Amino acid sequence: MKAIIINIGDELLIGQTINTNAAWMGQYLNSFGIEVESTRCISDKGLVIFDEIDVALYKADVVVVTGGLGPTKDDITKHTLCELFQTELVMHEPSYLRVKAFFESRGLPFLKVNEQQALVPASCTVLENMVGTANGMWFERNGHVCVSLPGVPFEMQYLMEHEVVPRIQQKFELPKIVHRTILTQGVGESFIADLLTEWENSLAVEDIHLAYLPSPGMVKLRMSIYGGADESVLNERIRRKEVELLEIVGDFVFGYEKETLQSVLVERLRGEGKTVSFAESCTGGMMAQKLTDVSGASQVFQAGWVVYHAQSKSKELGVDAEIISKYGEISGEVATAMADCARLKSGSDFALSSTGWAGPDGGDEIHGVGTIFVALSTEKATIVKKLKFGKNRMRNREMASDAAFMLLIKEIQK
Amino acid sequence: MKAIIINIGDELLIGQTINTNAAWMGQYLNSFGIEVESTRCISDKGLVIFDEIDVALYKADVVVVTGGLGPTKDDITKHTLCELFQTELVMHEPSYLRVKAFFESRGLPFLKVNEQQALVPASCTVLENMVGTANGMWFERNGHVCVSLPGVPFEMQYLMEHEVVPRIQQKFELPKIVHRTILTQGVGESFIADLLTEWENSLAVEDIHLAYLPSPGMVKLRMSIYGGADESVLNERIRRKEVELLEIVGDFVFGYEKETLQSVLVERLRGEGKTVSFAESCTGGMMAQKLTDVSGASQVFQAGWVVYHAQSKSKELGVDAEIISKYGEISGEVATAMADCARLKSGSDFALSSTGWAGPDGGDEIHGVGTIFVALSTEKATIVKKLKFGKNRMRNREMASDAAFMLLIKEIQK
C-alpha cells in the first residue's frame, strides 16, 4: 500500500515556509503501515498540479495533496481537480451553512469570496472540515485515491485523523502493525544507541524494527512490528522487549506514545493533588507557557514569575540581593533562591526555576554561553542541576524547560 | 532558468527528520533568480533515485540532489550516478589525502569504508567539501546540470555557496528577481484579499506576482517581480505598489521581510528607550516567552506575572478582589486592572495583560469559549480589546499574544 504526498505552494518552494506538513503526514501514514513512496512540493500553477497528481495516481494507491484551497486568487487546486476528474464545481449546502456560521460567530462579514469556499467538485466525496473553512475532497480513479486537503497544519491534521485514514483503512487492506513509542529526555541519540546496542541486535529475531526519533533534548524510541499474527500476539512480543528496554534506559524515560513532558507533569501533579509554581529567568515564561498548553493545567499551576533582571528577581520574587551579588545572577545559589522564593510566596507544593546564558551571545569567565541552572524546591529540599548546552537560544530555552520538568516528574515518581 | 531539488532519505519520508534543506536551498536559489520548479523527497533505493534524476534532468536546467553520500551501507547515490552518467568510480587523490588528514587530526581510525568516500565518478567535476568528508559532484548532460551534495545541512550550504551557485552563474544567464514581503496582523486572508481586489488587479500591468502567506492571525503579502531590467528599476516598480498597498491596509501592517511581531516590538521599545511588563492569565507565559525569544529582549522587558487563578491575580499582582468578583475573572475590567497593576508594580512604561477562555472547553453565559480580553496600560490610558476566536487552545493563545503585541506596536507608532 503506497502513498505519495504532494504539497502545493510557492511559499514552500522559495523556502518561506518549512514543509512540516510532509513530515507529520509521513509519520502519521507510516504509523498505519502505509508506505510513503515520495513527497513532492510543487508550485501553485494549474498545469503543474494537474500533471503531478495525474502521474502520481498511476504510481501510488493513495495520493494526498495539501494546499491551494484558500479563498484568494492564487488558489487554483479546486479548479484543477475539476479538470483532472472531469467534473465541475457545485455548491455544497452543509458547507455553505457551516462557513457562514463560522464567520457570523466571529462577527466577521461573510463575503462572496468566502461563499466560494463551499463550492466542491461534483464527483468528489466531501470531507467536511469542522475546524476551518476549506473542505477536504476524496476522489477515486481506477481504484486509486486522490485526497485534497487544506495546507493549514491543524486543519490538515484534523482531516487526516477523522476522515482520510479511517476511509483508507476501510478501502484498503493494511498490514497489521503495532507500534510502541517510549519517550526519553535528557540524553542524546548516540548515547542511547550505545547503551542499547545489544538489545537492538536482539530485535531482529522478533522481527521488530526500531526507529530513533530525536528532537532537541529528547529521543523517542519507536518499536514497530508488522505481521499477519493476531494483534495480541504482536503486542505481547513488543511488551517483552519493552520490559528489557526499561531495565537499560528506564531512568531517562518519562512517558509513552503522544504524551509530552507537560502532559505527564500535569497528570502526575493532579494525581497527587499537588501544585507547582515557576520562577523563570532565561526560560522567559516558557515553563509556564508549556504547562498551560495542557488543558486543565489550572488545577495544578499556582503562579509564575518571569524575572529577567537581577532587580526584578529581588523586587518581585524576594530573592536576597546579597545572594545575587555574591554568587552572580547565573549560579546554582540564585536558581535555588528563586525556586524557594516562588514556592513560599505562592504557597505551592513545588517550584521550578531557571537562570542561565541562553545565547546566542553572553557568558562570562565562570560560566560560558549555554550554561543554565534549573532548580526544584520542595518542602524537604531544593535540588539544583547545572546544564551545559550550545549557543542556540531557542533550543537551550526549550531544553532547560524540559530538564526542569523532568526533575519534578522524577521527584514525584519517587 | 529552472531547478528541481531532490532530497534522498527514508528518514525524510517517515517524518523522522523535517526537510529543512529544501527550504534553505529554495530560498538560496530563489535569491539568485533561479526558479525552483519543484522539490522531491525520495527513498534510498537505487532505481527510484535513477528514475527521479533522469526525469528531472529533462525538465529542469539544474537538478540539485542531496543525501546518500555517507559511508554506510544504504548510501548508494554515488553508484546510481555512475549508472546514470555511464561512468565508473575512480579514486580522487586530493580527496583521499583530505579525508585521511581529517580522520588523523581527530585521532580517529581511517577505515576502508572511509577511504571509499574519496571515490568519485570519473566523468564528474569534483566539488571539494572542505568542511566534511563527502564531496559534491557536478555532471552535465545535454546542457543540463546535475549536482549531488551531502545531506548534512552545513556541508550542503558550504558547497552551495562556494561551488554550486558560482558555477551556475557562470554557465547560465540568470534573470533579476526582486521580492518584497509585507507583514500584517489581526485580519484574515479573505478580508485583506477583499480590500485589495482592485490594487491586486493593477499588479498584472507591472508584471508583479502577489502571494498571500497566511499563518494563525497573520498574513504575509509577498510581491515578486522578475525581469531583465536593472535591479533598481525593479525595486522602484515594487516600491510604488507598496506605497499604494500601505494606503489601503497600512493599519494592519507591522513589519517587513523576516521580522516578527516580537522582533519589531523589541526594536520599537529599544528605539524609544521604553520598557514593558506582562500580566498573563490565559496566554500563560506566552507573551513573555515570545518576547524573550528575541536576543536582547532584556533591555526592554521589565517583569512578567503568570496569574492563572483569581487568587493569584490579587495576591501576586494586587488586582482588587472586588473588581474580580463584580465583573468576573474574564472581563475587560479585570484585563484593565491586571495591566495597570503590572505597570505600576514593575515600574515599566507599558504593560500588557490577557484574560479569557482559551479553550477547548470553558466559557460561560456571558462570554463563550474563545473570548479573550487583552489590555495595554500606558501612563495616559488603558486600552482593552475583546477578541473572539474558536476553540483551538494553542491557536487562541498565540493569536491573543500577537494581538496584544500589535496593540503596543501601534501605540508606539502613534
Mapping DSSP onto H, E and C, the string for A45-96 reads CHHHHHHHHHHHHHHCCEEEEECCCCCCCCCCHHHHHHHHCCCCEEECHHHH
Q: Least CB-CB distance to A13: which of B26, B181, B200? A: B26
Residues B224-269 have pLDDT tens digits of: 888 766 888 899 999 999 999 999 999 999 999 989 999 999 999 9
Place of cell 501601534: B410
Q: What's the CA gap between A369 and A392, in Å, rounded?
A: 10
Domain residue spans of chain B: 2-171, 176-256, 270-413
**A308, A352, A353, A392: which to substitute to probe chain B, counting the most B Cβ within 10 Å?**
A308
B191's grid cell: 478580508
Kindly report the nearest CA distance between residue A330 and chain B, in angstroms. Answer: 14
Query: What grid cell was written down for B58?
Result: 529533462
| Partner-chain contact A43 B37, CB within 8 Å | yes
* Nearest chain A Cα distance for residue B94, angstroms: 31
Assigned CATH for A177-256? 3.30.70.1090
A15·B24 Cβ contact <8 A: yes
Average pLDDT over residues A314-320: 94
Q: What is the pLDDT of residues B282-331, one digit of tens each?
A: 999 999 999 999 988 999 999 999 998 888 999 999 999 999 999 999 99
Q: Just give the CATH number of A265-413.
A: 3.90.950.20
Spatial separation of the C-alpha atoms in residues A336 and A319, rounded to whole Å:
10
- Burial bucket for residue A191 (CB in 10 Å: 0-12, 13-18, 19+): middle
Q: Do A24 and B36 touch (CB under 8 A)?
A: no
Answer yes or no: do A306 and B303 touch at CB < 8 A. Answer: yes
Asked if B211 contacts B230 with a C-beta cutoff of 8 angstroms, the reply is no
Give B389's contacts in chain A (Cβ within 8 Å): 106
Residue A392 has pLDDT above 90, yes or no: no
pLDDT band at A126 (very low <50, low <70, confident <90, very high): very high
A289/B286 touch (CB, cutoff 8 Å), yes or no: yes
Task: Examine the pLDDT at A111 and tell me if it is beyond 90.
Answer: no
Is B23–A37 a contact, with Cβ atoms under 8 angstroms apart? no
Going by their DSSP bridges, the two strands B301-306 and B276-280 should be labelled as parallel
> Which of A100-104, A157-161, A282-286, B139-143 has the least mean pLDDT?
A100-104
Of A340, A292, A333, nearest to A318 (Cα)?
Answer: A340
Q: What gap in Å lies between CA A83 and CA B402, rounded to an integer? A: 40
Question: For every residue of A186-212, which 3-state class applies, written as one string?
Answer: CCCHHHHHHHHHHHHHCCHHHCEEEEE
Beta-carbon count within 10 A of A231 CB: 12
> B270-413 has which CATH code?
3.90.950.20
| Closest to B313 measured CA to CA, from B346, B331, B333, B337 | B337
| CATH T-level topology, domain A2-171 | Molybdenum Cofactor Biosythetic Enzyme; Chain A (3.40.980)
Distances (CA, A) of B311 to A249, A406, B340: 42, 28, 17
Tell me, which fold does domain B176-256 have in CATH? Alpha-Beta Plaits (3.30.70)
Q: How far apart are CA B184 and CA B216, in angstroms?
A: 11
pTM: 0.80
Residues 6+ apart with CB under 8 A from B108: none
- Beta carbons of A30 and B43 less than 8 angstroms apart: no
Distance CA A307, CA B67 (A): 45
Could you tell me the maximum CA-CA distance found in chain B, to the nearest angstrom? 84
Q: How far is CA B328 from CA B305, B309, B336, B339, in A?
A: 19, 12, 13, 16
Q: What ipTM score was computed for the predicted complex, to two decimals?
A: 0.78
Average pLDDT across chain A, whole number: 91
* Angstrom distance (rounded) from CA A330 to CA A372: 8
Backbone phi and psi for residue B21, each to the nearest 5 degrees, phi listed first:
-60, -45
Mutation site for A-interface testing, chosen from B35, B39, B198, B394 by largest number of A Cβ within 10 Å = B39
Q: What are phi and psi of B322, to 5 degrees?
A: -70, -35
**Rounded-to-integer distance, Cα B247 and Cα A21, Å:** 35
List CB contacts (< 8 A) between A39 and chain B: 12-13, 40-41
CA B283 to chain centre: 23
